[in-house]
Structure 1
Amino acid sequence: MDVPTTRRPGVAVPRADIPRAKEKRTRIQAINRGLIVDAALEMFSTYGFRGTTIDQIAERAGMSKPNLLYYFPKKEDIYVTVLEETLEEWLDPFAALDPEGDPIEELRKYISIKMEMSASRPEASRLFANEILHGAPMIGRFLQTNLRNMVHEKAAVLRRWVSEGRLAPIDPYHLIFTIWATTQHYADFDVQIRAVLGPQVDQPGHREQAAQAVLSILLNGIRPRG
Structure 2
Amino acid sequence: MAVNKSSDASVGEKNKQNILQAAEKVFAQQGLKGSSVQQIADTAGLPKTNVLYYFKTKQSLYQAVLQQTLSLWNSRFDQASATDDPAETLAEYISEKIDMSRTHPLLSKIFAMEILNGGPNLDTYFNHKHVSWMQGRVAIIESWIEQQKITRVDPYYLLFTIWASTQHYADFSVQVTRLRGEKMKKVDFEEAKRTVIKLVLTGCGLTVPARYQNLQ
Both proteins in one fold, TM over 0.5: yes
* Matched residue, 2:59: 76
Looking at CA atoms only, which structure, 1 or 2, has the larger radius of gyration? Answer: 1
CA-to-aligned-CA distance 1:56-91 (integer Å, 9 cap, x gap): 211222221111111111001111110121022113
How far 1:224 sits from its partner (Å)?
5.4
Q: Using the alignment, how far apart are the partners of 2:204 and 2:163 within structure 1?
A: 15
Residue 28 of structure 2 corresponds to residue 28 of structure 1: no
Residues 138 and 156, structure 2, Cα contact 8 Å, conserved in 1: yes
* Matched residue, 2:210: none
Q: Using the alignment, how far apart are the partners of 1:207 and 1:166 within structure 2?
A: 28
How far 1:98 sits from its partner (Å)?
4.5
Show the 5 A alignment for 1:34-113.
34-113=17-96
Q: Using the alignment, how far apart are the partners of 2:160 and 2:186 within structure 1?
A: 29
Q: Using the alignment, how far apart are the partners of 1:77 and 1:172 within structure 2?
A: 34
How far 1:143 sits from its partner (Å)?
4.0
Structure 1 vs Structure 2: percent identity of aligned residues? Answer: 35
The residue identity in structure 2 corresponding to 1:219 is L
Which of the residues 131, 139, 159 maps onto 2:122? 139
Residue 190 of structure 2 corresponds to residue 208 of structure 1: yes
* Matched residue, 1:194: 177
Stretch of structure 1 that moved more, 143-152 or 105-114: 143-152
Show the 5 A alignment for 1:118-133.
118-133=101-116
Residues 115 and 211, structure 1, Cα contact 8 Å, conserved in 2: yes
Aligned residues: 207
* Structure 1: unaligned runs, 5 residues or longer: 1-10
The residue identity in structure 2 corresponding to 1:44 is F
* Structure 2: unaligned runs, 5 residues or longer: 208-216
Calculate the aligned-residue CA RMSD, in Å.
2.0
Residues 168 and 223, structure 1, Cα contact 8 Å, conserved in 2: yes
The residue identity in structure 1 corresponding to 2:70 is L
TM-score in terms of structure 2 length? 0.87
The residue identity in structure 2 corresponding to 1:22 is K
The residue identity in structure 2 corresponding to 1:46 is Q
* Matched residue, 1:4: none
* Matched residue, 1:184: 167
How far 1:121 sits from its partner (Å)?
1.4
Residues 84 and 139, structure 1, Cα contact 8 Å, conserved in 2: no
Q: Using the alignment, how far apart are the partners of 1:114 and 1:158 within structure 2?
A: 18
Residues 87 and 206, structure 2, Cα contact 8 Å, conserved in 1: no
The residue identity in structure 2 corresponding to 1:72 is F
* Matched residue, 1:222: 204
CA-to-aligned-CA distance 1:138-194 (integer Å, 9 cap, x gap): 114244112111111111111111110111111212211111111111111122222
Could you list the structure 1 runs, at least 4 aligned residues long, displaced by more than 6 angstroms after superposition. none
* SS of corresponding position for 1:47: helix
* SS of corresponding position for 1:187: helix
Going from structure 1 to structure 2, the CA distance change for 1:109 and 1:92 (only over 3 Å counts) comes to closer
Q: Using the alignment, how far apart are the partners of 1:125 and 1:143 within structure 2?
A: 16
CA-to-aligned-CA distance 1:103-145 (integer Å, 9 cap, x gap): 1011100100101111221111111111111111111424411
